[in-house]
Structure 1
Amino acid sequence: MPKKVVPEAARRRRKPTKLGVVLSEQLIVETALRLLQQPSREGLTVRRLGAALGADPSSLYRYFRGADDLTLAIADALIGRAMRGWRGTGDWRSDLRELGVRIYSAYLAHPQAAVLTASRVSGRAHEIAADEAILGVLRSAGLPDPEVVRVYHAFIDQTLAFAALDAAGLALPHSARAADEAVWQATYARLPAETHPHIAATAPLLVAHMNDSAYPVALDMLLDNAAATLARTRRAAGGSGAGSGGDGARAE
């Protein structure tokens, strides 16, 4: 006889743990994010998470199929934090820029979690809602669907790639991060023009900018490209070529 399927709600633990909390998927994810912020040689383990919740580690499998399922839930939670309270304004460029900054900032607020999850595709509710919002912004601008997908692909991959890169730097021990940042002044700024003329010529600018994230610049470059594509599309369709929010000046 087939084994009876127990509804998901019935599998949830209602009895408080040793710490007096009632387990839920949200509580487990929030606790995991907190633990990831704390230095530990163990990293995030089911044993460590169970201890933090005052629960037997095996009880966590009532909520997640395994450690990877928890990782995907953490990824979705970060996207959910990014999207919290977001409302479109109707200015596609402004809206898309805000979405990029929100997602990037949400990951940077949790560097260890960002390193763990930025490359993952969860297919969960918050991720789907974010994708729907981004695609909606691009389609509302008037881009043809092939261009919508091209820009969306570059936009989300660029945002998450910068989030992972910059989060990895923040996740380093302070001494290692400080040593890396000092290299521009201690090494690059001292290279002689006779052997490294291009580095020597730009050294003051390298020192001033290379320890900052390039994400805002890269994001504006991507938006410039999207605005130019939109202007070309409108010209081809017999439109004026002027983009929303002053895009025409940028696109020409």
Structure 2
Amino acid sequence: MAKRVVPEGDRRRRRPTKQGQVLTHEIIVETALRMLREHGADGLTARRLGLALGADASTVYRYFRGMDDLVLAIADDLFGQAMADWRPTGDWRADLRDLGHRIHHAYLAHPQAAVLTASRVTGRPNEVASDETILGILRGAGFPDADAVRIYHAFIDLSLAFAILDAATLALPKAAREADEEVWRDTYARLPRETHPNIAATAPLLVARMNDSAYPTALDMLLSSAAAQLAAAAEAGSAVRGAGAGVRGGGGRGV
């Protein structure tokens, strides 16, 4: 006989925990985020989460199908944080730039969670709402559907890829992170012009830039490329319409 599925509402713990709080989906996600920040991905287990919540580890499974289900919930929560209180301006390029920075910042606020979740696809409400918004901005700007999907794909993957890269740097132990940052000054800036002329010529610029995220630059390059494509398509469409009007006009004069 198949195992009876307990309705979701009946699975929820209604009694207060040892800490005096009634658990909710949101409280568990918030606690998991804190544990990731303090202990990293290896420190996030059902047992430790239960202890942090003041409940038995099995309580977690009243709210989530398993720890991977919790990871997907964390990923969706980060999208929710990115989209919170966002309002469109009507300028598609400014709106996408703002959304991109919001997504990037939301993940960097939780670097351990970012490394764990940024490569996942959840299909959950906040993620879906974000995708709907981004595609709506692109289609509303006049991009054909195929181009809207192509640019959306590049936009979201760029944002999440940099989120993982930059979050991984932030998640390093402080000593390791600082040692990496010093390499640009202690190694690259000291390379001789005779053997490394290009690095030597640009060394001050490398020292000034390379410890900062390249995401803003990469995002602007992507948006500039998309804007140029949209302008070229509009110009081509205008030329075609102009040529069509000329043909119709010429035919009329010939009659």
Normalising by structure 2, what TM-score? 0.91
Corresponding residue for 1:250? Answer: none
Distance 1:70 1:78 in 2: 13
TM-aligned CA deviation for residue 236 of structure 1: 2.1
Could you say what secondary structure the match of 1:237 adopts? helix
Corresponding residue for 1:211? Answer: 211
Distance 1:90 1:165 in 2: 31
Distance 1:80 1:42 in 2: 24
Corresponding residue for 1:242? Answer: none
Corresponding residue for 2:85? Answer: 85
Amino acid at match of 1:188: Y
Distance 1:43 1:184 in 2: 33
With over 3 angstroms needed to count, the CA separation of the structure-2 counterparts of 1:41 and 1:115, relative to structure 1, is: closer
- Confirm whether residue 164 of structure 1 aligns to residue 136 of structure 2: no
Corresponding residue for 1:137? Answer: 137
Could you say what secondary structure the match of 2:65 adopts? coil
Uncovered stretches (5+) of structure 2, i.e. residues with no partner: 240-255
TM-aligned CA deviation for residue 102 of structure 1: 0.3
CA RMSD in angstroms, aligned pairs only: 1.5
Distance 1:219 1:2 in 2: 51
Corresponding residue for 1:126? Answer: 126
Distance 1:10 1:193 in 2: 71
Corresponding residue for 2:46? Answer: 46
Distance 1:4 1:86 in 2: 42
Distance 1:167 1:40 in 2: 12
Corresponding residue for 1:248? Answer: none
| Bigger Rg, which one | 2
Corresponding residue for 2:29? Answer: 29
- Confirm whether residue 104 of structure 1 aligns to residue 104 of structure 2: yes
Uncovered stretches (5+) of structure 1, i.e. residues with no partner: 240-252
Q: How many aligned positions are there?
A: 240
Distance 1:5 1:121 in 2: 26
Distance 2:9 2:64 in 1: 13
TM-aligned CA deviation for residue 6 of structure 1: 2.8
For the 8 Å contact 2:189–2:204, the answer to whether it is kept is yes
TM-aligned CA deviation for residue 4 of structure 1: 4.6
TM-aligned CA deviation for residue 232 of structure 1: 1.4
For the 8 Å contact 2:41–2:112, the answer to whether it is kept is no
TM-aligned CA deviation for residue 41 of structure 1: 8.6
Corresponding residue for 1:61? Answer: 61
Distance 1:122 1:41 in 2: 18
For the 8 Å contact 2:41–2:113, the answer to whether it is kept is no
Corresponding residue for 1:222? Answer: 222
Distance 2:61 2:161 in 1: 31
The percent identity for this pair of structures is 69
TM-aligned CA deviation for residue 11 of structure 1: 1.1
After superposing the two structures, state which structure 1 stretch, 89-98 or 37-46, moved more. 37-46
